[in-house]
Structure 1
Amino acid sequence: MTASEGHDQCCDQMAYAVADEDLYLLYIPKSREWGIRYRDGISYSQIEYCPWCGAKLPKDLWDEWYARVEQLGIDPIEDHDKIPEAFRGDRWWKEAGL
């Protein structure tokens, strides 16, 4: 996926949708995951393709994130407040070249 206009999304329409709080599109930077939120505002359904340009989205990094946080000796659920700042956003996977 190539970033367009300085954002991490595959196309400008996707970037607009992620930034628009009135739309139900969700992007989670720390796990590089996209989804469509349910009306409850909490749950979401993961998507694998951009609804606008059809680009295949990169695989999410949840398993890698959990493994790297656990390698630091941190339980991601119990010790959430001990997770380093780099792992709270996309910096960890960008620096790792993932």
Structure 2
Amino acid sequence: MTHHCCEEMTSQVNWHCDQHDDPFSCPDALVGFTAKFQEYGLFIHDGGTSRIGIVFCPWCGQRLPESQRDRWFEELESRGIDPWEDEVPAEFQDDRWLTSPQEKR
């Protein structure tokens, strides 16, 4: 489980709405977090699924973790896995791959 920088960020990332199943549809959902990439973003409520990436917490001002997106793709490539064509292992669906015993970088 990822620990976020402050209580407000944790509250925002874990936001659940009784009226909307999808945070992109909920006007009260502000921040999304993608665990496998360690990326935070502000939802763009325009009917799509876009987010604007952020590098500082809007509430406490702390610098957020560096994105692991490139590293995620590199790790899959080193294992011969094409994420667009092949089945991606379960540990790469969230942040487990960052702490897995195989990952010694």
Same fold (TM over 0.5): yes
CA distance in 2, matches of 1:92, 1:69: 10
Please give the TM-score of this superposition, normalised by the length of structure 1. Answer: 0.83
Distance 1:88 1:43 in 2: 19
TM-score by length of 2: 0.78
Q: Which residue of 1 aligns with 2:62?
A: 55
The answer for the alignment partner of 2:13 in structure 1 is 18
Are 1:67 and 2:74 matched, yes or no?
yes
Deviation at 1:77, TM superposition (A): 1.4
Moved over 2 A (4+): 94-98
Q: Which residue of 2 aligns with 1:93?
A: 98
Q: Offset at 1:86? A: 0.6
1:2-36 alpha-carbon deviations (Å, 9 max, x no partner)? xxxx7510011100011114312100000000001
Q: Size of the alignment, in residue pairs?
A: 91
- Who wins on radius of gyration, i.e. which is larger? 2
Within the candidate set 26, 31, 40, 1:34 is matched to 40
- Unaligned stretches of 5+ in structure 2? 17-27
SS of the equivalent of 1:65 reads helix
